[in-house]
Chain A
Amino acid sequence: MDLATEATIRMAIVGNPNVGKTTLFNALVRGSSRVTNHPGSTANAVVGECRHSTKTLRVTDLPGTYSLQLDLPEADLCRLHLQEGEAPEVLCCVIDAMGLGRNLKLLAEVLEMRIPLVVVVTKTEEAMLRGQRIDIAALEEYLGVPVVEAAHKSMVRKLDFVSLLQKARVAHFIAEDPEAFKHWGTELQARVSLPVNPRRAKLRRQRDDRLDRVFTHPVIGVVIFSVAMSLIFGSVFWLAQTPMEWIDGFFGVVAQSLSARMDQGPVHDLLVDGVIGGVSGTLVFLPQILMLFFLVSLLEETGYLARAAFVADRWLRPFGLPGHAFVPLLSSHACAIPAIMSTRLIPDRRDRIATILVAPFLSCSARLPVYILLVGILFPGDPILAGCTFVGCYLLGAFAAVASAGLVRVLLVPGASMPMVMDLPPYRIPSVPEAARIAMERGWSFLTRAGSVILLICILLWWMSSYPATPESSNVVALRSASQIQVDPALAAEITAQADALALRESAAASYAGQMGKLMEPVLAPVGADWQLSVAVMASFAAREVFVSSLNVLLGVSEDVEDQTTLERVRSSTRDDGSPLLPLSSAGGLLVFYVLAMQCMPTLAVTRREAGGIHWALLQFGWMTLWAWVLGTLTRSMLLWFGVA
């Protein structure tokens, strides 16, 4: 088949686990992807499309496998995809320079398939630091197919892939027997893997070993990890404070200028309270999210996070979680959905189920706005305590995850978990532009979410908290009459303001959202929620971060608070009995509730699909909600017992 004349090229990416296939896939399709499976296989592949001038490239990111002959769902799917139905017209095999020998089995199998092939060699920069250079030209000559190098994962994005694909060729390699394969592999490594500056590499390895002894120490390693995370969270609060004030101020100005130009009425209220109030309630946390991801990416680039994974493995194993679970669990801090999908790399089904069930306990980025708001109420103007509480939230989520995993492994999927094998990357100076790029990518994803799903929920919530309308009660009418007969203008204005506030509150309480909140209030009252907070908690079942936006919309409807920042707005709002809306005890109870609650519909859908049944998703939802409610109630009760109101 002549790829140069094809309008649509079907390509599949194959490779060992963790060699950089998904980085390449994401760089090619830029988010336009869907998950697919193949009849006869329980594993999933991700399919995406991209256009390059006149050509459409349909890319399938196959799950990582060490060989196509393994009896694993991942290998089954790769075999089925490559040999049956709409087989790819071109293959891209990704191999990792850090473990070249380990990649050869799959590479040999792919070469034998007689499908036009290109090879991408990743992590060559890391291999150089380890004193090993891959001779790309020699590898290309030896394999007889085009080979391209991606020294660092950021370079994957710069590959001219379409022109590379047009050079794809069928290799002429057939290993007649294991002995021939062994000879082929040994000769390949001898020809292409060249030592570079061995003395310097040895010194570097000795230095890395010394550092590893400290960072992977069972006790010191944990202390260092906790201190590093506390410092990161503390600086996130401190550094992001000023930009947050700018964003809040900007939306305040927009709302005020809109109010000045428009007549009062439902359209004005929808725009100011529903759209601007709701979206700004989430967007204001953008600087913190950017800062957090920037600092974590810097840490990852240094090579330290892989050591943290090693330390965590010792702690995970007694709870029945395999070492393989660390990467999905770490990914869960960004979002539980890709984390659950990445559990496909865990070979044992019981290990996979246990990891899927507990992954959403780990604090994802959607929880950040809720944490920031509630921690801001608990410790205003104290970044150190706020940072420590933040770390506490992450630790509580991690503890709940491992404790639940222990129970799952004993009660539902008994058996020992598999040992973990991993490459520790060399230590190096982090790349600031790469960390900035990752932070910007995450920030953009957060922005698009605030502009889409959160905006839509805010509009619906505004309508539900505004209608049906109610005529003014006798109390409001009495206050208005009192204001009219008052001779002191200042006092008259104050009574009118009281009448307005009461009318707004009564109207919000009688609305659909108010009725639902009152229905839910008895269930959530032990955690510290009144009817307004109950509405926000219910609205956030679709997505956690909606809690903050919902509160902003509700308070915008029920209180006269247009010129206040989000934090001030929540802090100054009151309940029906005049007490503060969110006293410290309620903020504590709700914070614990949000750390543990399963409030993410898409995650439940992915759990159902990946675990293979709705009963797993229902179990996950019930279990997490139960923990959240019980511990949230306990936290609030303890705070009240200690005299914290």
Chain B
Amino acid sequence: MSFFPIEDPQFWIVTMVTVGAVIVFFWRRKGGGGGSCKDCPER
């Protein structure tokens, strides 16, 4: 049976960091940041 170690404070730290990463990822994409042509080298 799988579970989340909710009593472990470190679990909450890594989960918050991950949620932050997801927010930044989508925010950057919306703004034309990471993964968009802005990052591509000029040719």
Which residues of A approach B to under 8 Å, CB–CB?
22-23, 26, 31-35, 265-267, 269-270, 293, 330-331, 334-335, 337-339, 341-342, 365, 441-442, 445, 448-449, 452-453, 455-457, 459-460, 462-463, 466-471, 510, 542-543, 601-602, 606
Contact = CB atoms under 8 A, between A and B. Distances in A.
Contacts of A448: 39
A265 B10 contact: yes
Contacts of B17: 270, 459
B35 A442 contact: no
A341 B37 CA distance: 9
A453 B32 contact: no
The list of the 10 closest CB pairs from A to B, nearest first, reads A453-B34, A335-B40, A468-B2, A337-B37, A331-B43, A463-B18, A452-B34, A459-B21, A266-B10, A456-B25
A601 B26 CA distance: 13
Contact of A266 (B1, B3, B8, B22): B8
A469 B6 CA distance: 11
B42 A543 contact: no
Given A452-B33, A453-B34, A470-B2, 4 more contacts: A448-B39, A456-B34, A463-B18, A469-B2
A23 B17 CA distance: 39
**Residues of B in contact with A, size category:** 20 to 34
A472 B24 CA distance: 34
A467 B34 contact: no
Given A26-B42, A34-B32, A338-B43, A456 B24 contact: yes
B41 to A, nearest CB: 4
Contact of A270 (B4, B14, B25): B14
Given A463-B15, A468-B2, A31 B38 contact: yes
Contacts of B10: 265-267
Contacts of B33: 452
5 contacts: A449-B39, A459-B21, A460-B22, A463-B18, A468-B4
A109 B14 CA distance: 61
Given A265-B10, A452-B34, A339 B21 contact: no
B35 to A, nearest CB: 5
Given A265-B10, A267-B14, A467 B22 contact: no
A463 B35 CA distance: 21
Chain A interface SS verdict (over half): helix
A32 B33 CA distance: 10
A458 to B, nearest CB: 9
Contact of B36 (A32, A445, A459, A602): A602
B10 to A, nearest CB: 4
B13 A267 contact: yes
Contacts of A455: 21
B36 A456 contact: no
Contact of B21 (A23, A34, A456): A456
Nearest to B33: A452
A338 to B, nearest CB: 5
A471 B1 contact: yes
Contacts of A456: 21-22, 24-25, 28, 34
Given A460-B18, A469-B2, A334 B25 contact: no
B24 to A, nearest CB: 6
Contact of A469 (B4, B24, B25): B4
A365 B39 CA distance: 12
Contact of B37 (A270, A441, A606): A606
Contacts of B4: 467-469
Contact of B25 (A338, A457, A463): A457
Contacts of A470: 1-3
A462 B22 CA distance: 12
A266 B13 contact: yes
A22 B38 CA distance: 14
B3 A468 contact: yes
Contact of B42 (A23, A35, A467): A23
Contacts of A471: 1, 3
B4 to A, nearest CB: 6
Given A31-B38, A469-B3, A453 B25 contact: yes
Most chain A beta-carbon contacts within 10 A, residue among B10, B13, B41: B41
Nearest to A340: B37
B43 A601 contact: no
Nearest to B8: A266
Nearest to A365: B41
A26 B11 CA distance: 44
A331 to B, nearest CB: 4
Contacts of B1: 470-471
B41 A334 contact: yes
A467 B17 CA distance: 14
Contacts of A442: 41
A470 B40 CA distance: 41
A363 to B, nearest CB: 14
Contacts of A265: 8, 10
A337 B36 CA distance: 8
Contact of A449 (B15, B24, B34): B34
Most chain B beta-carbon contacts within 10 A, residue among A452, A455, A471, A601: A452
Contacts of B8: 265-266
B32 A335 contact: no
B37 A602 contact: yes
A334 B43 CA distance: 7
B5 A469 contact: yes
Contacts of B28: 452-453, 456
Most chain B beta-carbon contacts within 10 A, residue among A270, A453, A455, A601: A453
Contacts of B36: 337, 602
A459 B5 CA distance: 18
Contacts of B21: 455-456, 459-460
B35 A542 contact: yes
A592 B8 CA distance: 44
Contacts of B34: 449, 452-453, 456
